[in-house]
Chain A
Amino acid sequence: MSVAVDVVDDYLEKVGTADEFGAIDLVLGLLGEGVPAESLLLDVIAPAQRRVGELWAAGTWSVAREHGATAISERAVAAIATAVRPRPTRSRITVACTDGEYHALPTRLLAEVLRLRGWHVDFLGANVPGPHLITHLHQTGPDAVAIGCALPTRLPRAHATLTACQAVGIPVLAGGSGFGFDGRFAAKLGADGWAPTADAAADLLEQGRLPSFPTPGATLAHLADEEYTLFTKRRGEILAGVMAELPRRFPPMRDYTQAQFDHTADDLAHIADFLSAALYIDDTRLFTDFVTWTCDLLHARGVPSRSVALALRLLHDELHDFPRARHLLAEGTLAADGA
């Protein structure tokens, strides 16, 4: 039994109006009618949540509405998980979001899909500190650990986690948009497997396409130039320098309230996060895609994106001894001018 398109709209309506009971009744009702639980998770809740993200990005929904909707989806997932509880027939898998990653729902969906397919799943939730994850792996000895990463800015920490898991002999399955739409960052960081969706991940595990012991990871040779290390270390003073220079180059900033000023500092910090992720992984598109996305986001909210290009230029000027970062920023400026 497949799911009609308007079911997603119905569900979206309910989570968007904070109608928790309505949303839960809807999915449990469909479950009663014979729609498979996996289909509810992946064909109703997942696409609705993608729409929630788009509505927020387009400025149509407030942050509060987005978070409220996601909280209700979490409960809907929990309701499905309570209603359908197959006995585990397969071995043990640990599912966790990387350190600093708060977008737990996609990873949670994976955990539930694996559970439905008979795996014995330990879901550790959002923002799992590395040492805690490793302790858990030693204690439970799973066949694999699935690590979710929604934002590329978490990749350096995801890499640390991934390497630590492999060091204790557990193969890593990477997933989530943070690893790139085609999983190229997962491959670059030496993950033992990558899957674009929860059902693809479940298939991969079922087909035994992960090694039983991780293969020695790739080395990131470009890190030898230390640009990532130095940028991370000097990030504070570099950003302080840019923040001091911005009002001189962008006069409207002189009349900013503290909140507006904080907001600009946040945006700049965000640019710095993506810049350091792009330096870490050595990927230009990671950075330019982010710049284009930010400019689109600002346009959707009626904010001029001129300040983005300006911030990129100032960062470019500030980073004399960082040839790789300067290249990224130059490409980013082009993207901002084009957006």
Chain B
Amino acid sequence: MDSVTHAPSTEVLRAIVEAAADGVVLCDADGAVVLVNAAAREMVPGDVISLLDRAREPGETYETALGDRLLRVRREIFGIVHQAWYLRDVTNETARADALRAERERTQFLVEAGRRLSASLNTRRCARATAELATGLLADAAMVVLPPGGLRRTAWLRSSDAGLEEGDIPVAHADQVPGLAEALAGFPPVPSRWLDPHQAPEWLLPAGFGPVGHLLVTPLPGNGVPAGALVLARREGGAGFDDETETLVRVFAARAGAAISAAVLYQEQSATNAILAGDLRPPPLPVVEGLELAGSLRSAQQTALIGGDFYDALPTPDGPLVTLGDVCGKGPRAAVLAGQVRHSLRALLLLERDPEQLMHLINKALLSSYTPRSHVTLVLAAIHPGEGVIDLAVAGHPAPLLLRADGAVEEVDARGTLLGAIKSGAISLRTASIELAPGDLLLLYSDGITEAFGGPTGREMYGSDRLKTALATCAGMPATAVVERLEQLNSDWLAGGVFDDRALLAIRRSR
């Protein structure tokens, strides 16, 4: 029984240790190697002692390189007096984990890229997202060179640890970087291209970037239009681009290219739209001595802000002719007709200034229009600024309201038929002439204001009485404040509900 309480014999130890799957190195209390098992001998053909880090505490694990292998070593107390070093070759395990981590990183990168690149339809924002995304996982500096937008210069955005930089270069400079000119032209389709880092012109990299180790130019494939190029740079001493990264760059470039080329198309179309719509928006009102003019137009079509309501103030030698009208229909179609009415008025005004006569002429012009259902309601106000007299004609439109300086509100007694509706061309008009004393205000408005449905219960019509009550509270206010307040009260009434085009225009005689 005595022998059992002593340390096991060397033979027993050897048998146990040799049977272990892990490499085992056994040392005695003084640290001398007692035995090395077969697994350890196979793992470490040479000097095993150099791998044993005696500074480690028992129970500690560390990894150490042996040639191209990676060993995981654990120090343990073995029995009473011995120390054991367990060795395991984890080269493959680690490689698999690394590959998995890298794969996960690439997936995350593409998910984030998808999220950011799909958000915007703006060329610059898409280019910025591309450069910022590429910095980090793909490169130390990433530059997007956008397709040339004219003027022989082309814009670029660059992201690096120096932050975001923007600028432009002459298109001709693209020739200094092999493959860049072709990428910018979008034709012929060239594959991405490795560059000799020494070929990089100075403008390609951030100031103080340091020596470049790897440089890659990748075209951004567009959908029929060029989307520019992506230049990636890694510093000297850093890792090069492996196959997986190159594939990733290709997939990323495809997504970025699709986003940028969609944005380029959108920008072109919206620039065209803006030019076309600009003429259909209300014009700035002229400054007229002795008068304040203020207008507001809220369109039911909220993207381009155009619609069937319109106003204008056209200068004539005798004073401005102010008009406010409403074309049957909504949106761009109505806006085009509204634009035609405004242009016709501008031309007719060269020959005729009398509101009543102008109404007859516009009516005839509308009846001969190619556009079906060219129905228009209109107010024309010929202003004589000196005396504050206004000649008014109203056709199919709500009668203007007069706000006296003391707060009294009157409806102008003028009526008339809708224009462009009656085939015979006959319209009847009752015109009016009013006089504005200093501080008085004339309000023209469209039925979108009075026919606004909303209110506390959500289904009541605003009505002309409410408009008059609201107007009465505006005595003494400047014209801009009156228009703003009436629009605000009316918008509050609508409480965000679906609405028609709404127009307001105030003419106030200054005090």
A interface residues with partner B (beta carbon < 8 Å)? 18, 20, 63-65, 67-68, 70-72, 74, 91, 99-100, 102, 126-127, 129-132, 135, 137-141, 157, 167-170, 212-213, 235-237, 239-240, 243, 259, 262, 265-266, 268-269, 272
Contact = CB atoms under 8 A, between A and B. Distances in A.
A3 B20 CA distance: 86
Given A18-B478, A63-B473, A129-B302, A169 B120 contact: yes
A74 B123 CA distance: 34
A132 B123 contact: no
B344 interface: no
Contact of A71 (B123, B266, B480): B480
A102 B132 contact: no
A170 B116 CA distance: 10
A100 B489 CA distance: 10
A35 B96 CA distance: 68
Contacts of A127: 298, 487-488, 491
17 contacts: A64-B476, A67-B482, A68-B477, A71-B478, A71-B481, A102-B484, A102-B491, A127-B491, A130-B302, A138-B121, A139-B274, A141-B120, A157-B496, A170-B125, A236-B458, A237-B457, A243-B456
B369 interface: no
Nearest to B164: A212
A235 B477 contact: no
Nearest to B473: A63
Given A63-B473, A139-B267, A167-B119, A132 B129 contact: no
Contacts of B128: 212
A113 to B, nearest CB: 22
Contacts of B271: 139
Contacts of A18: 476, 478
Given A64-B473, A71-B481, A169-B129, A139 B122 contact: yes
A138 B477 contact: no
A64 B477 contact: yes
A140 B122 contact: yes
Size category, B interface: 35 or more
Contacts of A138: 120-122, 266, 270
B480 A212 contact: no
A272 B492 CA distance: 13
B270 A71 contact: no
B459 interface: yes
Q: Which of B270, B298, B492 has the most CB of A within 10 A?
A: B492
Given A64-B474, A236-B459, A135 B481 contact: no
B491 A139 contact: no
A157 B120 CA distance: 21
B476 A65 contact: yes
B353 interface: no
Given A102-B488, A259-B469, A68 B116 contact: no
Contacts of B476: 18, 64-65, 68
A137 B473 CA distance: 38
B334 interface: no
Interface string B287-321: 00000000000100011110000000000000000
Interface in B254-295: 266-267, 270-271, 274
